[in-house]
Amino acid sequence: MRKGIPLAIAFFAWAGVASTLPADAGQSGASAPAPSFQGVMPKTVTLGSLTDRYEPVVFDHSGHVDMASGCGDCHHQHGSDQVLGCRECHALDPSAFRRSVHADQFRGCGECHAGPSPRPVPERTGLAAAYHRACFRCHREVGSVGRDPKGCTEMCHEEKGAARTARE
Amino acid sequence: MEEKKGISRRDCLKALTAIGCTTLVGSAVDAHAYKKFSGWPGRYGMLADTTECVGCRSCEAACNSANRLPKPDVPFDEKSVFEEKRRPTSSAYTVVNRYSLPEKPGTPVYRKVQCNHCNEPACASACPVRAYTKTPEGAVLYNQDLCFGCRYCMVACPFSAPAYDYESALEPRIVKCTMCHERVKQGGIPACAGACPVEAIKFGKREELVNLARERIRRHPDRYVDHLYGEHEVGGTSWLYLSGVPFARLDFPSDLPDKPLVEQTKGFLSAVPLVLVLWPAVLGMAYAANRNKEDDR
Amino acid sequence: MRNESLAKTDTFPTRFMGKLLMGMPLSEYMKTLITPFNVLAAAILSVGIPLIVLRFTQGLAYVTHASNEYPWSILLGWGLFSGVPLSATGYIMATAVYIFGFKKYHPLVRLGVLTGFLGYLFAVIYLLIDIGRPWRIYYPMAVSYGPTSVLFLVAWHVALYLTVQLLEFSPAILEWLNSRRVRKWAVMITIAMTVAGVVLSTLHQSALGALFLLAPGKVHPLWYSGFLPVFFFISSIYAGFLMVIAVSTVLSRFMRNRADRDFLGSLDTLTVGLGKGACVVMFVYFALKLIGVAHDDHWNLLATPYGYWFLVEVFLFVLVPGVVVTCGVKRNHARIVRIGAFFALAGVVLNRLNVSLITFHWNVPGHLHHLVPPGREVMIVLAIATLHVILFRWIVNRMPVLTEHPDYREDG
């Protein structure tokens, strides 16, 4: 059972949209793109608000930025899962469209994926599910997630001290 | 041949007429005695999206811990259990099974098995001592204080959900999922739904879940088979399933009628009072006819 | 048998022992007990009875392989589902003689009622061993009613019918005990008991079939039908006739000394007569089974392995015995009728086992492997069957079943 409401999210200081395309040819960023917005992208993020079984997860943010094809892969404020209108973050002037985003406008997962149960928007999952679904979008093909229950501890989670020694 | 003591012809005919008339009255009354009850309103359900499940078995572990079931020999993070198809047992209310898809090697599909908490449970209609109750919350509960162990419910369940504790000499009983009824009544959610890291299991009002599921199918037609399993099967179940492959491939019983199984025996049971009345009438007439023949001899 | 000359020693204990030991002194009685059958029975019971005890101390898992997919096994498949149609003798014979007036079958009525009574009694005993908490067997009768359940109906009817059968047989017991007045009362209620017996029998014979209506996908489609209750009822009718033939044959062979001239002299004629009744019902039943296949349009299933098995059951064990019995009737040859009878009874048992065990959950992997019962369960079934035979024999040895008690001959 979800143990209580997640703690304040606070860790997220967002910066940058990983560069996707320059105006002409498509080219996914093979190297870390220059941030085109104000603010700073975190290198790692510690997700520790829901720790009961595992230690907090240290998330390699910058590494994932390299692998992702766009910020929207995880920060799904775009597309069919869109929860905000465009102008909430972007200036509508085409030339300034991308640059107008400020790092702070990247919302942390917990800002929307939390809240009382039953949920005001039934389709919206809780925080743990939001994390996992975002990660599993790729990680289900990488590593043992989806193939082995041990996949949980293989790539992301570290069991808390007691559980780990009990297992050993 | 001496006259046997017994009914006189006149008395016999009087009785038969009375019985005959009663039959006619009886059948007219019964025609409208059947009221339609479409289920407890506001009852809960659970939506299981098999396309989301990653087979981590957290639900099994949570169920085991929440219901204080015996710890299994093989721990819950072992994947070797997937090599065989399992079913709920007397120490496991639920299990997850793995299905490999030849068209998508490396990405198996998982399916959780447990009591489906039918709207009109066959087990409840089968039980001769009414040991099963369909609660307003939706859970179908078993009462081990009434059960005498006939196991007819196990015969009746189309999903073969109930398990029986054959090992116990003094307290053998049915074992099955309770939809965490106590927790739900206190405002919580079932352990499996709470433990699922991707919320592949969603708990909520059944009506809302049906709408949600239909919406999902509508929005992602390439992801889901256009069928919500449990919506209508055997009259509808509290557990609803979405799948990306035909349900028969995931060992879902696929030849189930839409009408609740209790309807299958209603015809026979309604014939009972007819027999109780007609047979004595017919036999009485035969006896009277035979006596008549004897008297004439 | 009144012995006025022993009036001085005619105390209750003496009379009681006299009844039990059939008038023999104990040492002589013990000597008569050493027969080949008794030795075999003792061997079976020496294994079976301890196993029954172990079932209660160790749990059902110790003696049966009943599982979550296969909750019912041969204990019920034989004891209840096969035992009940074979016990239809009571209502068949009583109806034939008392209601429809076939007076010439009177010598067989008591035999029929006794077979039926013991059959149901032992069905209850098999149940007591099989159900999880046998001490609660009275719950459907007195504690909590589940009237939507066909099994509730079966429970009530078996309980009521046992009572009816006991009352129908009570004149024989009362003659043995020389209770003239009570016996008179028991005879007066015969007609009422007979009618009640038919009503109850119709309902629970068919109810045993109706049980499986609740499991449409689980019994093989060739055996599953909306007509299952009708099939079970109709086959119980001819099973009743033929079981009387079978039991009377066995008794006339092994317990000749307990039968009177009336019985032995008329037996062959009566056998043929019963065969006449039975073969008509058997052909009707055969036709009904075919109608069952036609109704659901399952003809194509006949070409599958289970289809062949169905054809074996219906042709080899219903039609062929029906023809054999008809042959015997036409030639007035009791022996042929008897052969057909045993065959057809095996067919009834086969049908019940097919529906309740052999084709139940036929589509679950590993099904055929599951059909073989464990040795312990087989021993328990054998032990109870042995007890059944022993009790039957005990009663026939002492009570006027195959004879008419000389003091009550005039009362009928």
- Return the CATH number at A156: 3.90.10
**Contact residues on chain B for A153, CB-CB shorter than 8 A:** 77
Q: How many residues does chain B have?
A: 297
Question: Which chain B residue has its CA at the smallest distance from A128's CA?
Answer: B197
pLDDT at A83: 61
Q: What is the pLDDT of residue C399?
A: 86
Q: How far apart are CA C359 and CA C357, in angstroms?
A: 6
Percent of chain B topping pLDDT 90: 76
Residue B167 near residue B93 (C-beta atoms within 8 A): no
Q: Is residue C165 in a domain? A: yes
> In terms of residues, how long is chain A?
168
Residue span of the structural domain in which A145 resides = 44-167
Q: What is the pLDDT of residues C234-255, one digit of tens each?
A: 999 999 999 999 999 999 998 8
Residues of chain C numbered 31-60 and touching chain B (CB < 8 Å): 56-60
**How many interchain CB pairs under 8 A, A with B?**
67
Choose among B256, B262, B268: nearest Cβ to C229: B268
Task: Read off the CATH number of the domain in which C189 is found.
Answer: 1.20.1630.10
Query: Which residues have C-beta within 8 Å of that of residue C140, sequence separation ≥ 6?
Result: B128, B129, B148, C146, C151, C152, C155, C156
Angle between helices C190-210 and C180-188 (to 10 degrees): 60
Q: What percent of chain C has pLDDT over 70?
A: 96
Give CA angle at C304 (C302, C307), nearest 5°.
40
| One-letter amino acid of C403 | T
3-state per-residue secondary structure call for C20-50: HCCCCCHHHHHHHCCCHHHHHHHHHHHHHHH
Interface of B with A in 165-204 (CB under 8 A): 183, 188-189, 191, 194-199, 202, 204
B134 pLDDT above the threshold of 70: yes
This prediction has a pTM of 0.85
pLDDT for res A124 = 77
DSSP A64-123: HHHH-S-GGGTS--SGGG--S-GGGTS-SSGGGTTTT-BGGGS--HHHHS---SS-SSTT
Q: Which of B1-15, C105-119, C179-193 has the highest average model confidence (pLDDT)?
A: C105-119
- Tokens (6 digits) for B202: 């969603």
State the average pLDDT for chain A.
68
Contact between chains at A1 and B183 (C-beta distance less than 8 A)? yes
Is the CB of residue A127 less than 8 Å away from at least one CB of chain B? no
The reply to whether C217 touches chain B by the CB within 8 Å rule is: yes
| Number of domains chain A is built from | 1
> Does C100 contact B152 at a Cβ distance shorter than 8 Å?
no
Which of B108, B188, B199 lies at the smallest CB-CB distance from A1?
Answer: B188
pLDDT reported for residue A93: 76
At residue B16, the pLDDT reads 58
C-alpha to C-alpha distance for B44 and B209, rounded to whole angstroms: 9
User: B183 to chain A: which residues are within 8 Å by CB?
Assistant: 1
Tens of pLDDT, residues B109-118: 999 999 999 9
Contacts of B166 in chain C (CB under 8 A): 59-61, 64, 66-67
Cα separation, C115 vs C105, whole angstroms? 15
Mean of pLDDT values over A12-40: 44
DSSP C169-214: HHHHHHHHTT-HHHHHHHHHTHHHHHHHHHHHHHHHHHHHHHGGGG
Asked if the structure places residue C106 within a domain, the reply is yes
Would you say the C-alpha torsion C111, C115, C118, C121 has a positive or negative sign?
negative
CB < 8 Å to C215, chain B = 155-156, 158, 261
What pLDDT score was predicted for residue C394? 92
Total domains present in chain C = 1
Q: Which residue has the higher pLDDT, C1 or C227?
A: C227
C84 neighbors C123 (Cβ within 8 angstroms)? yes
Percent over 70 (pLDDT), chain A: 55
CA distances for B272 relative to B37, B268, B277, C139, angstroms: 23, 7, 9, 21
Chain B residue nearest residue C193, CA to CA = B280
Residue A115 — very low, low, confident or very high, per pLDDT cuts 50/70/90? low
A touches which chains (3+ CB pairs under 8 A)? B
Pairing type for strands B239-242 and B163-164 reads unpaired
Are A106 and A75 spatial neighbours (Cβ–Cβ below 8 Å)? yes
pLDDT 10s digits, B9-59: 555 555 555 555 544 444 433 444 446 667 788 899 999 999 999 999 999
Residue C367: domain span: 35-400
Give which of A124, A147, A158, A159 to mutate to test B binding, by max B Cβ within 10 Å. Answer: A147
pLDDT tens digit string along A67-104? 877 777 777 766 555 566 677 767 777 777 767 777 66
Hey, what domains does chain B have and what are their CATH numbers?
46-200 (3.30.70.20)
Residue A165 in this model has a pLDDT that exceeds 60: no
C197-223 confidence digits (pLDDT tens): 999 999 999 999 999 999 998 999 999
Task: Evaluate whether residue A35 is within a structural domain.
Answer: no
At B78-124, the pLDDT tens digits run 889 999 999 999 999 999 999 999 988 888 999 999 999 999 999 99
